[in-house]
Structure 1
Amino acid sequence: MQDTITFYYSPQTRARSVAMLLDELQAPHELHVLNMKAGENRQPPFLAINPLGKVPTIRHGDAVVTEQLAIHIYLGDLFPQAGLTPAITDPLRGPYLRWMAYFGACFEPALIDAYLKREPAHEAMSPYGTYDQVIEVIRAQLAKGDYLLGDTFTVADVLWGTGIGWTLQFGLIPKLPEFEAYARRVSERPSYKRISEMDAAYAAEHEAALAAASAG
């Protein structure tokens, strides 16, 4: 019998993409909700699991997996029957891993530097080149098909679809047609709609709890 997956989650965080992935994979799991507004992620019980106090985090048997990208790759490989992860012998496996890594190694650092108005390292030393280069690389890839790997929806699209949608919402990337169409396609998936409703419900619950604590 497969060990139970415990998923540590808080609304309005990166954990939302893992929640969507678990739904897409139809992966049995126990949801452990942390109220980050109340600081539950900084309490000893969770810090013993993830010393950084970050979500998403999963525990599977004796393995604790942190970091959004690692969790996506781990879960996709754990449930190959869902057909969302190219096998190691599949020609798409290399491009799949490339785009998974590009999200964390290039996309997010470029966004953070641009948002904070920090000058990136010289192009020859910067891990991502320039913000404009990153944006164009992603745009060009999405112009080739409905998803990152063409017509094939994969775990990478759960990660990127939620990420592109979120960064568009907050104006962190330009509203290019390729980005908007891609975010829309991913947001139309039933899993996205279910998780959006769940996320909103927990966010409201946590806000209410914070308000009640402040009033008391």
Structure 2
Amino acid sequence: MADELIFYTNPMSRGQIARWMLEEVGAPYEPRILDYGTTMKDAAYLAVNPMGKVPAIVHNGKTVTECAAICAYLADAFPEKGLAPDPADRADYYRWLFFTAGPVEQAITAKHFGVEPDVDQQRMAGFGSLAAALDTLESAVAGKAFVAGDRFSAADVYVGSQIDWGLQFGTIAPRPAFEAYATGLRERPAYKRAKEIDNGLIAEMQAAGGGG
């Protein structure tokens, strides 16, 4: 089918990031909601993503996994939406998109698991320390509405989601720069639509007595 776009997700997952990006794109997509213990590990989905994790998209028969990659891919696949800077202006776009997907998420995960690298280990760990990663992320958004240039981009979907999520669940300590950046992004209509969809799905799951 021409322009087929399938979205595999669970509303209680990083799939919320991809959902927001899809709503920014505005192209029709077919959502497929997976459960953690069953359909996410079935052979049918493992053929899409052998990791058995969501989100994933299949666009015109091509599979893309990993939230940052999905954001960047959709921006390029739908250039008319203006969700990626011009090629000559993509330094900050790529830098902060992948810095947040790499060092920031690694640092937050390590802290969640009770791992705090000592000084020698920090030289080996790509994120160094959580404090260093968050200080650097703060420098990227301080005093800015958007992380890359003077207009919204796919990088804001990913960076904004990580900050928004971190502030909500306490994995990122509140800082004025983070609060101001996230507050502006929460006003986007696509953000609100995505949250409404996923929150509705979560409510349905909870009413049915399951969490996925």
Which amino acid in structure 1 is aligned with residue 43 of structure 2? P
Retained in 1: the 8 A contact 2:96–2:140?
no
What residue number does 1:147 align with? Answer: 146
1:150 CA displacement: 4.2
Alignment of 1:1-216 (within 5 A): 2-36=2-36, 39-88=38-87, 90-91=88-89, 93-120=90-117, 122-210=121-209
Q: TM-score, normalised by structure 1?
A: 0.90
Distance 1:153 1:101 in 2: 16
Which structure 2 residue ranges, 5 or more long, are not aligned?
A: none
Which amino acid in structure 1 is aligned with residue 138 of structure 2? R
Which amino acid in structure 2 is aligned with residue 25 of structure 1? V
1:2 CA displacement: 4.4
1:62 CA displacement: 2.6
1:3 CA displacement: 2.6
3-state DSSP of counterpart to 2:19: helix
The one-character-per-residue Cα deviations of 1:25-78 (angstroms, maximum 9, x if unpaired) are: 112211112233x63212222122112111110111231111111111111100
Distance 2:189 2:85 in 1: 22
Distance 2:42 2:192 in 1: 31
Size of the aligned set, in residue pairs, is 208
Mean CA deviation greater in 119-128 or 193-202 = 119-128
Mean CA deviation greater in 52-61 or 146-155 = 146-155
Which structure 1 residue ranges, 5 or more long, are not aligned?
A: 212-216
3-state DSSP of counterpart to 2:58: strand
Identity of aligned residues (%): 38
Distance 1:19 1:86 in 2: 21
Q: TM-score, normalised by structure 2?
A: 0.91
